[in-house]
Structure 1
């Protein structure tokens, strides 16, 4: 056991809500916003040494005081209708050379998180992250919902009443949920815990940009709050979106004119575009190829991973 708990509160069949960093930091931003607004209390953490190398060190007067590691913390909140446990990890454990969680360490961490969840009698598990999608950055992101339990998926869809449903999910016969967000859903299912992952859409041309995407985090929270009955204030996320949109516009302006023109056709307000026509399948394929070229090392784009 590599977790330590500061408290052992009596909780009433809580839900577990989880967020790790990833593309656009969607999941981490959503869950941190949630537990901060609900003023959740610190519960405990997973000890980092089995999973991470030190991320830094503290030196005072030339003397090493301590090593710093990525934090993986639990919080809890008692609510009128249901209790909730939150978990946020600053980093996903991964094998050498892997961008997302992978290997034995990732599987062990997923089980550690669920050990705590089951110790407190959690009844459901929710993770959140990003869905890389061919949308425009001025569009309202939809939310992809993936669940190990058909009844839970039906409950999610009923709670959002058709709002923020992605038009893109389901067009492909198969899809992958990378990292611990997907792994946790699978491991929870093996333990008999209904689990779901809510993924806010992030434009594919921003998937490798080292910026947060608060618009997607807001969409995820709107779906989750509707499901769990939370009342949230989205002012902070809206302000972040305004600031980030300024950065995104600068990034967007670096694209060749032909790419920008085709991306503009993705906007929800199709009638306001010059063509007045939706983007064609040929244009979609052309964009996929050319957006990928922008991020190749030595190309015209930014090859940094998100």
Structure 2
């Protein structure tokens, strides 16, 4: 536990761990972050070490380069007044590079063992040839058949064979080595949307877990976000099927709207504002850049300010009468 810093000493009742990292469709990260926010879980420890990660770039603010920031993993706790188990949630900014994955997972498991954790839960995406309009099913894999049976009784399918890549699976293998139980809940996502966040899959896996842990969590906001993403995918598909006859560069009026909105976001670095403005221009010419733009808007929590401008990218120009 050389890289873990405990900020607050706590005692928990029969705690379980829920761990998540960025991955396909942001299924795991979205589910864990949403749960953490809804429960009001409090941070009590961090895992930070440069040996697990290679910086892939730097941020530029006010024309100056910042010092490279290494990803941080944070531990949160929630005392469950209704259930038999308290909750520890671990959320990391990134997954370590492959050759350090086992060591990284081992450090997390060693730490939670010291806190008397007996079960580890993770989430993952399951890319399949399905449509984004379908309700994704949830699959479960576990370290013991008895645990799997509990989820199957709740209409969660079992995954008979295959592989779970990355930390979402590896940490369960390490947990089993240490004598802990482990479960991974996988949500279906369409193959053509693996680079797009999938809040519906996040909602489905989270729904299965909160039911299993007897937690009371309102998933309404996650469903609303899922509906929004589905609408955006529909716009994109419609555009790809029927592209406009003429592409026009973004005009000054649209630029002014974007700049005005960006100015209203005081927490937005100048470099980020410039990047968003440039992405709007690029998306106007090449709609495939809209996905990158959407991620950037979500990253800085400014999507709602630019929702109209973003959706306007998908509108076709009216055809002129001859």
Q: Normalising by the residue count of structure 1, what TM-score does the alignment of the two structures yield?
A: 0.73
The answer for the alignment partner of 1:243 in structure 2 is 228
Q: In 1, are the aligned partners of 2:123 and 2:205 still within 8 Å (CA)?
A: yes
The answer for the alignment partner of 1:49 in structure 2 is 50
**1:18 correspondence with 2:19:** yes
**1:112 correspondence with 2:132:** no
Deviations 1:228-249 (A, max 9, x none): 0111111221221122112211
- CA–CA distance in structure 1, aligned partners of residues 166 and 58 of structure 2: 27
SS of the aligned residue for 1:50 comes to helix
Change in Cα spacing, 1:150 to 1:256, as seen in structure 2 (3 Å) is same
Alignment counterpart, residue 138 of structure 2, candidates 143, 153, 177: 143
Runs of 5+ consecutive residues of structure 1 not aligned to the other structure: 95-101, 258-300
**How far is the alpha carbon of 1:53 from its aligned partner?**
2.8
SS of the aligned residue for 2:203 comes to helix
SS of the aligned residue for 1:68 comes to coil
Alignment counterpart, residue 176 of structure 2, candidates 178, 189, 196: 189
Paired residues in the alignment total 244
Question: Which stretch has the larger CA shift, 131-140 or 245-254?
Answer: 245-254
Q: Name the larger-Rg structure.
A: 2
**How far is the alpha carbon of 1:19 from its aligned partner?**
0.9
Q: Normalising by the residue count of structure 2, what TM-score does the alignment of the two structures yield?
A: 0.69
- CA–CA distance in structure 2, aligned partners of residues 189 and 234 of structure 1: 31
Structure-to-structure mapping, 1:97-176, within 5 angstroms = 102-103=98-99, 105-158=100-153, 160=154, 162=155, 165-166=156-157, 170=159, 174-176=161-163
Deviations 1:7-64 (A, max 9, x none): 1201112000011111100000000111111001101111131212336657788887
The answer for the alignment partner of 1:234 in structure 2 is 219
Change in Cα spacing, 1:249 to 1:110, as seen in structure 2 (3 Å) is same
SS of the aligned residue for 1:132 comes to strand
Q: In 1, are the aligned partners of 2:58 and 2:65 still within 8 Å (CA)?
A: yes
Q: In 2, are the aligned partners of 1:55 and 1:69 still within 8 Å (CA)?
A: no
Alignment counterpart, residue 86 of structure 1, candidates 81, 84, 89: 89
Q: In 1, are the aligned partners of 2:122 and 2:168 still within 8 Å (CA)?
A: yes
Deviations 1:42-101 (A, max 9, x none): 01111131212336657788887754222211101111222110001111112xxxxxxx
**1:216 correspondence with 2:201:** yes
Change in Cα spacing, 1:227 to 1:248, as seen in structure 2 (3 Å) is same
Aligned residues: CA RMSD? 2.6
SS of the aligned residue for 2:173 comes to helix
Q: In 2, are the aligned partners of 1:15 and 1:122 still within 8 Å (CA)?
A: yes
SS of the aligned residue for 1:144 comes to strand
- CA–CA distance in structure 2, aligned partners of residues 7 and 199 of structure 1: 32
**1:205 correspondence with 2:192:** yes
Q: In 1, are the aligned partners of 2:48 and 2:71 still within 8 Å (CA)?
A: no
Q: In 2, are the aligned partners of 1:143 and 1:220 still within 8 Å (CA)?
A: yes
**How far is the alpha carbon of 1:180 from its aligned partner?**
0.6
SS of the aligned residue for 1:21 comes to coil
